[in-house]
Amino acid sequence: MSGFLILSRILALGFIRDKTSVFFTILFPLMFLVLFGALFSSDGTSKAEVVQIGDVMALDDLPAPARAELTESLTLTKRDGALQGPLAKLREGDYDAVISEKGNQLVVYYSQADSVRSAAVRGVLESVVDNANLTAAGAAPLYELTARQVEDESIQPIQYQTPGLLGWAISMSAVFGAALTLVEWRRRKILRRLRLAPVSLSAVIGARVGVSIAISLVQGVIFVGVAMLPLFGLQLSGQWWLAVPLIVCGTLAFLAIGMLAGSFAKTAEGASGISNLIVLPMAFLSGAFFPMDAAPAWLRTVAEIFPLKHLVESTRDVLVRGADFAAVMPDMALLLAFAIIAAGIAVSLFRWDDV
């Protein structure tokens, strides 16, 4: 057996027997998948709470279909009595809007605390009033608005979440794996022992790379497999298998980051600290957990330097958006370039020994 195969086997055994690392590599990200799946299981936002004080003609007289449409975006509760109580609750944020009728005026009280939601409520109510006016005037509406979602009807938050969380899981295990192996093997004098044995440095690094790629692919299979369960309902698009080379390229980039972290750190604690310092901000900025569309432009620019950003975007493209090889090739090239540069620096910083 060559040194590469022997060391690969040693690393693989060490990984499988370490329950903590198996947990953090496989189960921990899956827990997030379940959690995020539950959080975003509806369309992502809960309905607005609107309280109606006494009779409001425009609402009470709504025909059943229009009423159904209305209650799709807000829950309407009818109350009798004074305005003061509900208004106080509105200020405290318990309600999103309070409606009362004064003669022909429909008064909407809202709080600026959640400006997006109050604007939405106002919009909905304005359209109700407009419709009521039209009906009262006996005029048929001239234009009609039909809304259609651009994605496939089946698109679900899971389509967004799976590639993101998978990318995060892969980056975590590869960065930590490389950093901890390097530091622990150096601290425990295993590297020194290997230096005294007829084993090449490339066999040592190659074994870590090989095992990490295997772990990443296993993570990918388990992750996508679980997400495709009816409970979650992930649906893969045409060239989903392009995710395999993407995962390999991404893993190489993260291993290089881990090796860099391992070159600087002297202890396992230090290595985990540095790895966390890199992986967590990278995961947030790369849109692994939630979209970065609302983030300021400069922050999105910063995110471009992270390999995770490119891995998440491109796996999302191939897994659920039906992208082809040409579309993700630039990302793949970027990941590889990142890996080569970072690994080059890491190898130049490589030390067999502490001293």
Partner 1 sequence: MTETIVVDDIAKSYGQCKAVDGVSLSVTEGEFFGILGPNGAGKTTTLEILEGLRRPDQGNVELFGHSPWPRNPRLLTRIGVQLQTSAFFERLTAREQIRAFASLYGVKAAKADAMLETVGLTDKANTRTEQLSGGQTQRLSIACTLVHDPELVFLDEPTAALDPQARRNLWDLLGGINASGRTVVLTTHYMDEAETLCDRVAIMDAGKILRIGAPAALVRELDRTVRVTLAHGTLSEADAAELPGAQGVTDDDVCLTITTSEPTTLLTALVERRALTDLGVKGATLEDVFLELTGREYRA
Give residues in contact with partner 1 (CB under 8 A).
1, 3, 6, 9-10, 13-14, 17-18, 184, 188-190, 192-199, 352-353, 355
Q: Which is nearer to partner 1, 1 or 38 (CB)?
A: 1
Q: Which is nearer to partner 1, 122 or 188 (CB)?
A: 188
Q: Which is nearer to partner 1, 129 or 199 (CB)?
A: 199
Q: Which of 39, 327, 27, 355 is nearest to 191 (CA)?
A: 355
Q: Which is nearer to partner 1, 209 or 332 (CB)?
A: 209
329 — phi, psi (to 5°)?
-60, -45
Are 48 and 120 in contact, with CB atoms under 8 Å apart? Answer: yes
Determine the distance from the C-alpha atom of residue 172 to the mean position of all C-alpha atoms in its chain, rounded to a whole number.
Answer: 14
Q: Which is nearer to partner 1, 196 or 277 (CB)?
A: 196
Q: Which helix (H) or strand (E) holds 43?
A: none
Min dist CB 4 to partner 1, Å, is 11
Q: Write the DSSP assignment of 221-290 as a string of letters.
A: HHHHHHHTSTTT-----TTGGGHHHHHHHHHHHHHHHHHHHHHH-SSHHHHHHHHHHHHHHHHHHTTSSS
Min dist CB 351 to partner 1, Å, is 12
Min dist CB 246 to partner 1, Å, is 30
Min dist CB 275 to partner 1, Å, is 18
In angstroms, the CA 25 to CA 216 distance is 9
Are 327 and 296 in contact, with CB atoms under 8 Å apart? Answer: no
| DSSP code for 53 | E
Min dist CB 180 to partner 1, Å, is 10
Contact residues for 250 (Cβ-Cβ < 8 A; gap 6+)? 167, 170, 171, 174, 216, 307, 308, 310, 311, 315, 335
Q: Which is nearer to partner 1, 114 or 184 (CB)?
A: 184
Q: Which residues pair with 53 in a beta bridge?
A: 79, 100
Q: Which of 311, 213, 257 is nearest to 8 (CA)?
A: 213
Q: Which is nearer to partner 1, 91 or 188 (CB)?
A: 188
Q: Which is nearer to partner 1, 214 or 302 (CB)?
A: 214
**Residue 77 Rama label (left phi>0; alpha psi -120 to 50; beta):** beta
Min dist CB 11 to partner 1, Å, is 8
Q: Which of 176, 157, 188, 181 is nearest to 37 (CA)?
A: 157
Written as six digits, the tokens of 338 are 């990142």
